[in-house]
Structure 1
Amino acid sequence: MLAAIVVALAVATALFAHEHPWWKNVYLPLLDIFTMGDPATDEAVARRVLQLVAGFVGLAVLPLVVAATMNATEAFRSASVGLAPSDDLTDHIVVVGLGKIGTRVLAQLRTTDHKVVAVERDPHARGVALARELDVPLVLEDAGTPGVLDRARIRHSRSLLVLTRDDGESLDIVMAARETTPSVRVVMRLYDDDFAATVQRTLRASYPQAPTRSRSVSALAAPSFAAAMMGRHVVGVMPVERGSLLFTVVDVAGHPELEGRSVHEAFREHEWRVLAVGSAAAQPAQSSMDTLAGIRFRRPGFDWRPSQGKVLRAGDRVVLATTRRGLDILMTGVQPHPPDRRG
């Protein structure tokens, strides 16, 4: 093809430009093809040949130079983005979304022995800088795009945490992960609790062998706010499926549901259970810094395995696991009315 072009240009030069001698009709079109100026028409033949050879070599080398430049640019971009997951990485946790929640989850996971790979499409998300600081493998692409989860080695991971802000986007990512890796353990963040419950039931039915959890952040946070409003009696909150348990410290005196009853008799299904019994007189006043762990390990005098026949007295203090409804009953003494089932 190149030879035919040179011959055609040489003939056109001879016919229309009237170049003489004949070698100029070939030499000058070659210089034009190689985009070379300053033709050596008045110099020796060797100089003209070397000029053409140099032009041909430059034309051949130019694509290699461009390719090397592009590779170097891509390598620099990858290095500036973050650490790519290694090809032998296994048994890790893939965290999708490095917003406020994702950043806290990432920081918490890095305090453990878990290996983590982060996926985030926004290079300016608050968790990107943390991922780089902690040397966490980072994929800066949309997790919903085909192939991105594969780059995060989802097939070899232990579990997938989808923590984006958009419910629909989170569901799309989970469905994409399920298509490639049906057995992967999934926890997703959803805003609407009813939608989260529906998604969890549907995914469990579709993939019965794969653990699936969907959680509404607002629903998880609500018990903590409610507990705070109930006063310092609440020392811990534990999510259980779509509900929560409140761990409370209560003085037996003044509570007819507890006083004078055995530990077994004081139990009320779906409302409260006695976990530990101690002496109110032996316990200092409750501090706002108390935690469930603090009560168990720092405060002496609590029996964490009380006999079911032990009778609770007015001088006792108990640790209870309660529901919000149960705690309302204990604190107010108001018994809820049974629902009216009359037609």
Structure 2
Amino acid sequence: MVAAGLNRRETPKTAANYNMKVVDVNLRRLRSFVVLAEELHFTRAAAKLFVAQQSLSKQIAELEASLGTPLLRRSSRKVELTAAGVAFLATSREVLARFDLGVAEARRIGEGRDITVRVGFIAGAALELTTPIFTEFAGRYPGSRLQLQEFDFADPSAGLADGTTDVAFIRLPSSTHGLVTSPLFTEPCVVGVYTAHRLSDRDRIRIDDLVDEPIAIGRTQDTVWRDFWTLAGPLGSRAARILIETSTQSEEMEVVAAGMACAITPAAAGRYSPRPGIRFVPIDDYPGSTVAVAHRLNPVNPLVTAFMEAAEAVRERESRVIQRIERWDQYV
């Protein structure tokens, strides 16, 4: 996966960051610290936790020793958080909230109750792998439900950026900050042109052939995505040309069919969005677009990892399908 840009197969080893000093920072101590930080009074906090004040003091002292820094300032008159305590309180609350939610969801799964996985996707999803992935996941977790939602060009993360979805099929390159991704396949890029366009009779073209052409581009704030689909990287200063913004793939195809602009697009557009009046021509010297399955770091939904594993299992099993998707000759 890619965490903030890291491939899933290259996930950093946690052992490198493992600290023996904090091995005993358990959930009981975290809960005690959170309650005390909220009450700022040992007697009230101990009563709320149903423990003796001496026991609470010992837990906090052990927690501070494990972390190697004081979390609280104590005096005969008051208790207050240190700067380290304020920072650790936010982390502690998040850890406890995620743990409690994970326990609740695990119990739901164990008891056979339904759990929903929200799956985001952009046009085309995972192409021919989409249905096999859904089928694989449903076979592994028959008590689960998939809630599907399509996103337009404005959100290449397909709902992951704002937490609308749990897992998504996305296209790379795009901004992957805070995401973990697992690539499924990479397909060629083509240019969609009006059939009367000067390039429509070519078998293949090169990037330089598009220097002076108006380009249709999805309306988005994701500059990584935008630069890729406008050829801004390889063209550099020569990329200052007319850009026509669109919101959806169908809108983009209308612009092309009207002869208003060309569109750099995945090769699958020829299969999934065939249109009278449009021809898709392979681009010889441009990298392909990768479809990946992705999720946010530290996912809350316990079935996210299971969905990723199902997608990866299909990827390994359907190698022939992927070879056909990635071949140039079927698009010529």
Smaller-chain TM-score bracket: under 0.3
Alignment TM-score, normalising by the size of structure 1: 0.27
- Comparing both chains, which one has the higher relative contact order based on Cα–Cα distances under 8 Å and sequence gaps of 6 or more? 2
